[in-house]
Amino acid sequence: MSENQNPPKPGVVVYACSGCSDAGELADRMARQLTREGAAEISCLAGIGGRVKPLVKKAAAAERILAIDGCLLNCTRHTLELAGFKNFEHLELHKLGFRKGSCPVTEEKIATGVAVAKAMLANAVPKTMDSPGSEQSSNSLTSIKEPNYSTN
């Protein structure tokens, strides 16, 4: 690539809970499998939370973002929203019947989550804005809206 060329724009970037529970491990393994299969490119959620510029830029440049949360706390969604990202697909594993503390990681569970994620992405509308601060809301398996915790 020459100096004047921009790096390729990432298609789907996936962020996953990698928490200490079995549900967090499932979310992480699903994101890694999506990456291995070429359906998405995994990126670092901690970097988004820490506002690491190259990682935030990668998210902003993505055509679409997929957030995978392992449990009801929805740390992935909250981290993205606190960084200003509002328009993303949101896979909540508890809605697939995977419960924190009682869902040992198996290849079958990983495959189930990957299939659901691919179906969500196939039906999703690409982002219309490439930067944080969009007023678009996330697409999720839930219709419950969380309160806005911002101090604006």
Model confidence at 145: pLDDT above 50:
no
Whole-angstrom distance, CA of residue 139 vs CA of residue 24:
20
Cβ atoms within 10 Å of 48's Cβ, excluding its own = 23
Mean pLDDT of 50-68: 97
Looking at residue 147, what is its pLDDT? Answer: 32
pTM: 0.78
Q: Which two tokens stand for residue 152?
A: 């604006």
Whole-angstrom distance, CA of residue 89 vs CA of residue 121:
7
Greater confidence (84 vs 20) lies with: 84
Model confidence at 69: pLDDT above 90:
yes
pLDDT band at residue 110, thresholds of 50, 70 and 90?
very high
CB 88 within 8 A of CB 64: yes
Whole-angstrom distance, CA of residue 102 vs CA of residue 77:
22
Mean pLDDT over the full length of the chain: 82
Whole-angstrom distance, CA of residue 47 vs CA of residue 54:
9
Greater confidence (135 vs 97) lies with: 97
Looking at residue 123, what is its pLDDT? Answer: 87
- Cα-only R_g, the chain: 15
* Domains of the chain, residue spans: 16-126
